[in-house]
Structure 1
Amino acid sequence: MPHRLPLFPLGSVLFPGLSMPMRVFEDRYRHLMSDLLALPADEPRRFGVVGIELGHEVGASSTQQLSDVGCVAEVRTVRRHEDGRYDLLVEGTERFRVDAFVDPDSDHPYLRASATALPEEPGPDAERHAERVGRLFARYCQRLTGIGMPAEPPADFPSEPVALSYAVAAAVIVDQFDKQRLLEAEHAAARLRLAAELLRRENRVLTALPLLPGGPFLRREINLN
Structure 2
Amino acid sequence: MSARLALLPLPTVLFPGLVLPLRVVEERYRALVRRLVALPARVPREFGVVAIHRGNALLDRPVDATGRAVTLHAVGCAAVVRTITAHADGRYDVVVVGRRRFEVEGLDTVAAPYLTAEVRWLPEPAGAGAAALVPQVCAALRRYLAALDGDTAATEQLPTDPRVVSYLVGAVASLSVDDRQLLLAAPDTAARLRTGQRLLSREAALLGRIRAVPQPLARWTTHPLPN
Q: How does 1:108-147 map to 2 (within 5 A)?
A: 108-146=112-150
Q: Check 1:179–1:61 CA distance in 2 against 1; reply closer, same or farther (3 A cut).
A: farther
> Does 1:79 find its partner at 2:85?
yes
Contact 1:157/1:167 (<8 A) preserved? no
* Number of the residue aligned with 2:95: 89
Alpha-carbon separation, structure 2, partners of 1:158 and 1:92 = 17
Match of 2:73 among 67, 73, 76: 67
Deviation, structure 1 residue 169: 1.5
CA distance in 1, matches of 2:93, 2:8: 14
- Asked whether 1:9 is paired with 2:15, we answer no
Q: Does the Cα contact within 8 Å between 1:74 and 1:93 map onto a contact in 2?
A: yes
TM-score, length-normalised on structure 1?
Answer: 0.86
Mapped to 2, the partners of 1:72 and 1:34 lie a distance apart of 18
1:206: Cα distance to partner?
1.2
What displacement does 1:157 show?
Answer: 3.5
Alignment coverage as a number of residue pairs: 207
> Is the 1:132–1:196 contact (alpha carbons within 8 Å) kept by the matching residues of 2?
yes
Q: How far off is 1:3 after superposition?
A: 3.1
8 A contact 1:9–1:66 mirrored in 2:
yes
Equivalent position amino acid for 2:61 in 1? S
Contact 1:144 1:151 in 2 (8 A): no
Runs of 4+ deviating beyond 6 Å: none
* Cα RMSD after superposing both structures: 2.0
Q: How much has 1:35 moved relative to structure 2?
A: 0.6
Residues 1:55 and 2:61 aligned together: no
Deviation at 1:60, TM superposition (A): 4.7
Partner Cα distance (2:143, 2:114) in 1: 43
Larger Rg: 2
The separation in 1 between residues aligned to 2:181 and 2:94, in whole angstroms, is 22
Question: C-alpha offsets along residues 115-164 of structure 1, whole Å, 9 cap, x if unaligned?
Answer: 01101121100011111101110111111124xxx564366532210011
Unaligned runs of 5+ in 1: 214-225
The verdict on how the C-alpha distance between 1:152 and 1:11 changes in structure 2, with shifts beyond 3 A counting, is farther
Deviation at 1:208, TM superposition (A): 1.4
- TM-score normalised over the length of structure 2: 0.85
User: In the alignment, residue 61 of structure 1 is paired with which amino acid?
Assistant: D
Q: Distance in 1 between matches of 2:33 and 2:200?
A: 37
Aligned to 2:104, the other structure's residue is in SS state: strand
User: Cα–Cα, structure 1 residues 2 and 125, in superposed 2: closer, same or farther, change >3 Å?
Assistant: closer
The residue number in structure 2 matching 1:99 is 105
- Please state whether the residue corresponding to 1:41 is helix, strand or coil: coil
